[in-house]
Amino acid sequence: MAALLTTRILLFCFLALLAGAADAQLSPAFYDSSCPNLESIVRSAMTQAVNREQRMAASILRLFFHDCFGCDGSILLDDTSSFTGEKNAGPNANSARGFEVIDAIKANVEAACRATVSCADILALSARDGVVLLGGPTWTVQLGRRDARTASQSAANSNLPGPGSNLRQLVSAFSAKGLSARDMTALSGAHTIGQARCATFRSRINGDANVNASFAALRRRSCPSSGGDGSLAPLDVQTPAAFDNQYYQNLLVQQGLLHSDQELFNGGSQDALVRLYSSDAAVFNRDFAAAMVRMGNIGPLTGSRGEIRVNCRRLN
């Protein structure tokens, strides 16, 4: 009887350990032993990529945003004849870019630490480093995510707020992922870098009442009322390659490029916060960094869930 009881206790402890592993928490020290040079490898490759093209910092940051309404590397998977990923979802098709940079970083990491570091974690580190390289804040990246073995184009279509979203929709989309309205407004400051396609802001510069007339006229030069969908314009017309608080200053004078941008300062609940961020870069940087950590904690796969992809574009 005692032997049976001991066996049951050992079995219970073993199952508890397995459950703990499956629900393991992220930690900045996750790869300290298994891949100690990880952060320097990623930083070096991102430095090269941004030196080649400053816009790449914004592109990688956007990939992380679009992955992190899940944070599992699913956005990196290519479509195949038997698999439909997220790259051709509405928010990503013809606009998500930087995949080859993540491929290159992954190859460098694999050379140092074979089958150890997830693509999801590489994307998280790369996004942080891109922001820093353009003068933005740094933060401690929590690590230990594993890569998804599935992807959902329909979820990408329904979960990600679009450029035509109103304030209520923006707050709701972020709230559904456990992020506050303040997080949403801080994270929107990522639009202080990068560019947007004409198709995403045409209706604003031609139809919105709360758009600066001179700004709209400037944008219409390269974004006609029809055609030219792929023509690009900077999200921040003043300092497009600097990660600063100019985005919020633009909103105060109705120079938000996207309808969803200007919704943050349009007589609503976020007006006071936009004013604060526009006048105090330190507060914006602090809130942005904290919100990035919270966003990176949305639904990661840990423990035994998912896998560590060797090639970020396909399942093992």
DSSP letter (8 states) at residue 119: H
Is 239 labeled as ligand-binding? yes
Is 208 labeled as ligand-binding? no
Active-site entry in 62, 66, 146, 219: 66
List the structure tokens of 222. Answer: 């390269």
The CB density around residue 169, as the number of other CB atoms within 10 Å, is 14
Amino acid in the structure at residue 127: A
* Residues 6+ positions from 101 with CB-CB distance below 8 Å: 45, 46, 49, 56, 59, 60, 126
Is 138 labeled as ligand-binding? no
Is 259 labeled as ligand-binding? no
Is 86 labeled as ligand-binding? yes
Is 191 labeled as ligand-binding? yes
Is 23 labeled as ligand-binding? no
Is 98 labeled as ligand-binding? no
* Residues 6+ positions from 283 with CB-CB distance below 8 Å: 276, 277
Note if 259 is an active site residue.
no
Is 236 labeled as ligand-binding? yes
Is 67 labeled as ligand-binding? yes
* Alpha helices (runs of H) in 68-118, residue ranges in sequence order: 99-112
Is 161 labeled as ligand-binding? yes
- Residue 203: closest CA among 228, 183, 232, 223: 223
Is the distance from CB of 177 to CB of 298 less than 8 angstroms?
yes
CA gap 167, 82 in Å, rounded: 38
3-state secondary structure of 146: strand
Residues that constitute the known binding site = 67, 70, 72, 74, 86, 161, 191-192, 236, 239, 244
Residues that constitute the known binding site for Ca(2+) = 67, 70, 72, 74, 86, 192, 236, 239, 244
Q: Known catalytic residues?
A: 66
Residues that constitute the known binding site for heme b = 191
Residues that constitute the known binding site for substrate = 161
